[in-house]
Amino acid sequence: MKKLFLFITLILILISGSSPINAQNLNIHARAYILIDSKTGQVLREYNSNAVLHPASTTKIMTGILAIEYGDLDSIVTVSQSAINNIGTGGMHIGLLPGEQLELRHILNALLIRSANEACYVVAENISDTHQEFFDLMNQRAKELGAVNTNFVNPSGMDNTSNGHLHVTSASDLAIMARHAMTLPEFREVVAKTSYTIPPTNMHENEILLPASNRLLFSSHRSEYYTATGIKTGYTNRALSNLVSSGINDDGMELIAVVMGVEKYDQVFHHSKRLLEYGFKNYSMRSIIAQNSYIATVKVDGASGNHNLDLLAADSFMCALPNGMKLNELTFEKVINDNITAPVYKGDVLGYVEIKNNDYHLGKVDLVATRSVPKFIPVEDISSIVLNPLTDPLLKRVLIGTSIFFFMFLLLRRTLRKISRTRLSRNKL
């Protein structure tokens, strides 16, 4: 049964990726690609993005995520012989040695900037008890993020199998994982570097210089439309050339592109640049909702005075939209809390407005109260509140004690005055 599953998966991969496709208008020769808005995840352009393909070293995006989320980057880790043994035939490495000790932060840079395979296994062995536990964690985290076409069987991206299962993903899944990764400050900082230097260790007297493999970060591939911000390269004989890339323009619009299955290594960078430029040329960052803008008016039950309450947007919301698109083409769905009852306090969240482009969820903004609304208290309830202390045993004791204290104070004051007068009379005599 496992052999049959493996055979069918291989056939599907060969069918979907046997010949690179010339994407209309963009002239991108690739098995699959996708372009998304980093802020919302909205798909701006795609081709064959759910095809099951080999990720190669773009796998290391997930390995890096787990190193940050589960590891201590300041901790000292030790390179094992097992990590060296798992580099794989023809696998990228930086020459780390068994017994070498260095910070996990250096390992993270090695696997993301220079794509070092031994660094991936160092991460796996310092986060999980076994390799398989780490692979399972990779798949669990991928599913949590929304990846549906992914199965990892190693942390580096080598084209091997485990228990009849291939190491596979899709352009869409890689975009999802990359989008999350770029929300992690440590990840974002690393993948934007053009190089990194590992300081001397117990096994290396000299520094180890790691030049970045992502050519989009260098001036030779600079674009007038955006500044490259990352992310990760990948290549194996079976996967061909893959690249997950990202860029941001002067307006703060950041896009993520995934291009998979390009025959010529140099071309994957040109295709990715072309795909990113398509996005920056045809989309722009638009202000959809301004902070503190009026959204709705609600009725507050049991309010004292004015029952009507205005709700404002708690935050501003911006996202990438096609050039020329009108805001009234978007859908704004207001979701207001049921049975809003006084008292309400200024700033209370009483609902949200969801923004959609067709059926695609772009985001949502909380709705907050503009003012406080006190509760209406009938006259009979006011008198009840005033009289209640007389019937409450504890308050009754407090009142009695206070009265006794006040009476004793007056008595003492009167006595002291009487003594003072007596002394004054004697002095006059």
142-162 pLDDT, tens digit per residue, is: 999 999 999 999 999 998 877
DSSP state of 200: P
Q: Could you tell me if residue 376 is inside a domain?
A: no
Its domain, for residue 402, covers 388-428
Give me the pLDDT at residue 161, please. 75
Q: Could you tell me if residue 378 is inside a domain?
A: no
Q: Could you tell me if residue 377 is inside a domain?
A: no
> Within this chain, do residues 35 and 179 fall inside the same structural domain, yes or no?
yes
Across the chain, what does the average pLDDT equal? Answer: 90
Which amino acid is located at 259 in the chain? V
Q: Nearest Cα to 52, choosing from 105, 82, 15?
A: 15
> Within this chain, do residues 180 and 323 fall inside the same structural domain, yes or no?
no
Give me the pLDDT at residue 7, please. 46
> Within this chain, do residues 240 and 363 fall inside the same structural domain, yes or no?
no
> Within this chain, do residues 233 and 350 fall inside the same structural domain, yes or no?
no
Q: Using the predicted structure, report yes or no on whether residue 392 has a pLDDT greater than 80.
A: no
> Within this chain, do residues 230 and 331 fall inside the same structural domain, yes or no?
no
Residue 15: both structure tokens together? 């069918």
pLDDT per residue over 206-259, tens digit each? 999 999 999 999 999 999 999 999 999 999 999 999 999 999 999 999 999 999
Q: Using the predicted structure, report yes or no on whether residue 19 has a pLDDT greater than 60.
A: no
Contact 365, 313 (CB under 8 A): yes
pLDDT per residue over 269-279, tens digit each? 999 999 999 99
> Within this chain, do residues 51 and 148 fall inside the same structural domain, yes or no?
yes
> Within this chain, do residues 294 and 406 fall inside the same structural domain, yes or no?
no
Q: Could you tell me if residue 382 is inside a domain?
A: no
The CATH number of whichever domain residue 348 belongs to comes to: 2.60.410.10
Give me the pLDDT at residue 58, please. 98
Q: Using the predicted structure, report yes or no on whether residue 5 has a pLDDT greater than 50.
A: no
Q: Using the predicted structure, report yes or no on whether residue 370 has a pLDDT greater than 70.
A: yes
> Within this chain, do residues 221 and 320 fall inside the same structural domain, yes or no?
no
Q: Which helix (H) or strand (E) holds 286?
A: strand 283-289
Q: Using the predicted structure, report yes or no on whether residue 265 has a pLDDT greater than 60.
A: yes
Give me the pLDDT at residue 379, please. 62
The CATH number of whichever domain residue 210 belongs to comes to: 3.40.710.10
Contact 116, 108 (CB under 8 A): no
Q: Nearest Cα to 255, choosing from 75, 42, 25, 408?
A: 42
> Within this chain, do residues 189 and 55 fall inside the same structural domain, yes or no?
yes
Q: How far is CA 144 from CA 56, 62, 137, 384, in A?
A: 21, 12, 10, 55
Give me the pLDDT at residue 1, please. 47
pLDDT per residue over 280-311, tens digit each? 999 999 999 999 999 999 999 999 989 999 99
Residue 356 CA to residue 405 CA, distance in Å, equals 68
Q: Could you tell me if residue 247 is inside a domain?
A: yes
pLDDT per residue over 162-208, tens digit each? 777 899 999 999 999 999 999 999 999 999 999 999 999 999 999 99
Number of domains, the chain = 3
Last residue of a domain, one of 285, 314, 347: 285
> Within this chain, do residues 409 and 352 fall inside the same structural domain, yes or no?
no
Q: Which residues pair with 353 in a beta bridge?
A: 334, 365
pLDDT per residue over 82-107, tens digit each? 999 999 999 999 999 999 999 999 99
Q: Using the predicted structure, report yes or no on whether residue 381 has a pLDDT greater than 70.
A: no
> Within this chain, do residues 181 and 199 fall inside the same structural domain, yes or no?
yes
Least confident among 2-16, 129-143, 293-307:
2-16
Q: Using the predicted structure, report yes or no on whether residue 140 has a pLDDT greater than 60.
A: yes
Q: Could you tell me if residue 379 is inside a domain?
A: no
Strand, coil or helix: 213: coil
Q: Could you tell me if residue 365 is inside a domain?
A: yes
Burial of residue 227 (CB within 10 Å: 0-12, 13-18, 19+) is middle
Looking at the chain, the whole-number percentage of residues with pLDDT higher than 90 is 79
Last residue of a domain, one of 337, 369, 401: 369
Contacts of 232 (CB under 8 A, 6+ apart): 57, 58, 60, 61, 112, 115, 178, 191, 214, 243, 244
> Within this chain, do residues 42 and 161 fall inside the same structural domain, yes or no?
yes
Strand, coil or helix: 298: strand
Last residue of a domain, one of 285, 305, 331: 285
Q: Could you tell me if residue 383 is inside a domain?
A: no
Mean pLDDT, range 379-408, rounded to an integer = 62
